[in-house]
Amino acid sequence: MLNLQVVDVSYGKSRTITEVSMNVNRADKVCLMGRNGVGKTTLLKSIAGVLPLDKGKIEFENKDITTDKAFRRSRAGLAYVPQGREIISDLTVLENIELGCLAHYPNEKAALTEEVLTYFPALKEHLSRKGGFLSGGQQQQLAIARALMSKPKVLFLDEPSEGIQPNVVAEIANILNLIHKQKGLSIFIVEQNLSFAFDIADRYYVMEKGQIVKEGNFKDTSHEELKMYITI
């Protein structure tokens, strides 16, 4: 479904990603792991179209999207929830949610909003509240809800558990698994929380110094085998 072929990416003048190849299949659940600063966010931004490739190729549904702008990739079915959520603080919760479909399915705004809110009942009572006044966990749910408004085929999430209390992290894991089961979309997370990663993903890639150094299935791997790649 999504294939990266020998991808190089630079951030500024520094080569950050070197010869990375990976794939995300239809209805896949994949986690990219690694310590801070190894290039995980840079790779996500290059997939989303925020950063250009220096070398290599990205294909989505057998189409070359290597040079496509971010908005074209979004319309094709790639949705990106960035690290830090990046919701618009001065807009209400409802307005933030509705932003997710305006460039995609504006005529379906009401129906999509109703559908998305079934996954996030905690947001329903805050629809008229400004996004900046939500807790970190609520903001993360809002960011995911906004991304789902574009009816994505692949949902990318960068450190979705960061700065969120454990009970809310578990709730978000349950919501993502439910969405995956009911919608059949692929989920790709960047994550250092091993418990969260094991709860959601089936497969993993491990990155060190901008390169993939290990990959496998979570069912065949222990926490201890992966802990060494994410702890300092």
95/39 Cα distance (integer angstroms): 32
Taking 70 as the threshold, does the pLDDT of residue 166 lie above it? yes
pLDDT digits (tens, 9 = 90+) for 134-152: 998 999 999 999 999 999 9
Could you state, in order of their start, the residue ranges of all structural domains in the chain? 27-50+70-200+220-230
Residue 229's pLDDT is: 87
Residue 108's pLDDT is: 93
149/151 Cα distance (integer angstroms): 5
pLDDT digits (tens, 9 = 90+) for 181-218: 999 999 999 999 999 999 999 999 999 999 999 999 99
- State the CATH class of domain 27-50+70-200+220-230: alpha beta
Q: Which residues, other chains included, contact 182 with Cβ-Cβ below 8 Å and sequence gap of 6+?
A: none
Residue 176's pLDDT is: 94
Ramachandran bin of 145, using left for φ above 0, alpha for ψ from -120 to 50, beta for the remaining angles: alpha
Taking 80 as the threshold, does the pLDDT of residue 33 lie above it? yes
Residue 111's pLDDT is: 95
Taking 80 as the threshold, does the pLDDT of residue 231 lie above it? no
Strand, helix or coil at 71?
helix
Taking 90 as the threshold, does the pLDDT of residue 14 lie above it? no
Residue 129's pLDDT is: 93
In the Cβ-directed half-sphere of 135, how many Cα atoms lie within 13 Å?
Answer: 10
pLDDT digits (tens, 9 = 90+) for 78-109: 999 998 778 899 999 999 999 998 888 889 99
Residues 46-55 have a mean pLDDT of: 95
Taking 80 as the threshold, does the pLDDT of residue 40 lie above it? yes
